[in-house]
Each structure stands twice: as C-alpha cells, then as structure tokens.
Homo-oligomer: A and B are copies of this chain.
Amino acid sequence: MSIASVRNLDGQLKRCSINTATLGHREPLRITVDRIARAGFGAIAPWRSEVEAGDVHALSRQIRDAGLSVSGYCRSTYLPALDPEERRANIEANKRALQDAAVLGARCFVMVVGGIPVGSRDLEGARAQVRDGVAELLAVAQDVGVPLALEPLHPVYAANRSVLNSLGQALQWCEALDPHGTGFLGVAIDAYHCWWDPDLGPQIAAAGQARRILAYHVCDWLHDTRDVLLDRGMMGDGVIDLPGLRGQVEAAGYVGPVEVEIFSKDNWWKKDVDDVLSVCAHRLQTVC
C-alpha cells in the first residue's frame, strides 16, 4: 500500500509533530517537551524564544531522551529592513539561530521571511532583500547541516510578516538560489497558508519532483475567521480538505512529519494543555 493511499494518520502518531505555538507558549519548553512525548507524538517544533531562554544543549538532550525528533526550528528573524545595518543584523541573527538548529538536530530551519519594512511601499525591493539574505544563509545552512525551509505565508501577511506568498513563488526562489538542489533549500507547506491557491496542486507536484518539500504543517481555516493571526482552527473545524491535501503532499513523495501549528488566542490557548494535545492526537488520526 502506498503512503498516499493511507486514508488518515490512524496509528501514525509517531510521525506527527507538535509545534509548541499550538500550546500558547504558557510553560517553559522543558515542561512542554515532556507533555508532547507523554501524549505519544514523535516530534516537536520549538520556537527560538523558548529555546534561547534556556540552554540549547540541555534542551536538545532532553528532546532526544524523550524520544522526540525536531520537525523544524521556528523561525527566522525577518530579513527586509530599510536600514542596511538592521538588514545585516537580521542575517546574523539567523546565522546564530542556524547554529542552534544544528544543536537541536532540526530537520529544517523554518524561514518566515518578513514583510515590507514600515514606511516602504517597495514590495519587489523587499522580495529582493529576502532572496539576497537567503542566498547568504544557504551557505551557513550547508555548513551546519540544517536545510532552510522557505515557508510561503498567506497573502494576508504580505505587508507585515512575509513577502513570500505562494508555493509557486517559493519554488522559483529555490530554483534561482539553489539550481542544483543541494538539499539545503526547500519549502515548508502549511495548509493554512496555501489551501486557497488555485495553482496549489501542480505546485505541490513540482515541489516533490524537485525534492523541495521539507515540512508539512496542518491546522484549519475557520469559515468565519475573526483574527487572521490568532484564530486558526483545529483540524476538522474549518474548510480545508486536509486528507486531500496530505494526499497531494505524499503523492509528491513527502514522507516526513505532519506538524500541528495552531495559533488560537481565544480558544485553544485557553484550554488545558494536555487536553489540547489529546484533541490534536485524535484529529490527526481521524480527519487529517
């Protein structure tokens, strides 16, 4: 039976990962690690703020000892800036984060590239700055052995979070910056960001063909989203055909972790952390 024909993730919890943002960052990472492992998941995706608040080597050991792999390290410092010194500082911050990603043994470093600098209207200029920054970081990524996963964000974030807004655009950048496919530049496909794209199916196939799919993130888009940043839905509560999407991603050859990433200030972040993990486990195994 091919992976693509598996109808849901029943019994595959070890393949599933929890992005710690899903739990609202309410506890130190060392506690979160244990909760995620105890709930049966096989991987975790921590954030820099919580890793940098502790000792990365100790956290890395703890994660490994708990039986977890690191599906991705979240996330890059935004790259574009009007001030060249600030731009340089952003790149350097990402280089340091890549070192930590290597210590953590992360499958990839998740690149949320940043928006248009405040006061600017130069979208193409910001995109050029990002490409230049990624080109520089790619060399470091190879050195430390952690691939860069360009994550196209939903176009609603084009102004203030990411000028990279579609999978097709991400793949064009990958081809331009890494034409020979070193394995150190690829994409993170997040259902929330990409589900609407009329060109998504062909682009997923192209991403697979080019061996660029480094991560796959799930949550759901609620029909009447109240807040586009912090009102993401639990899988099954929204409009995304998640089994169909995973089928496309796996038909394209992806066999890596399925990572849950839910920002939900007024709902899931208010619920008991273990309950949230339990619901994630259930939904992953029934509706994803």
What sequence of 0s and 1s flags, for each residue 109-123 of chain A, a beta carbon within 8 Å of any chain B beta carbon? 000000110101111
**Copies of this protein chain in the complex:** 2
* Chain B residues with CB below 8 A from A221, complex form: 158-159
Is residue A160 contacting chain B, with contact meaning CB distance below 8 A?
yes
A213 beta carbon closer than 8 Å to chain B: no
Across the interface, which residues of B come within 8 angstroms of A159, CB to CB? 196, 221-225, 238-239
B residues less than 8 Å from A39 (CB atoms): none
Assess the A165–B196 pair: CB atoms within 8 A: yes
A224 to chain B, nearest CB (A): 6
Known: A155-B154, A223-B116, A228-B228. A123 touches B160 (CB 8 A): no
Query: How many residues of chain A get a CB closer than 8 Å to chain B's CBs?
Result: 34
Q: Which residues of A84-111 have CB atoms within 8 Å of chain B's CB atoms?
A: none
Any chain B CB within 8 A of the CB of A195? yes
Q: In the complex, A115 Cα to B127 Cα: how many Å?
A: 30
Q: Is A22 an interface residue (CB 8 A)?
A: no
A199-224: CB near B (< 8 Å → 1, else 0) gives: 10000000000000000000001111
- Partner-B contacts on A (CB < 8 A): 115-116, 118, 120-123, 127, 154-156, 158-160, 165-166, 168-169, 172, 195-199, 221-225, 228, 238-241
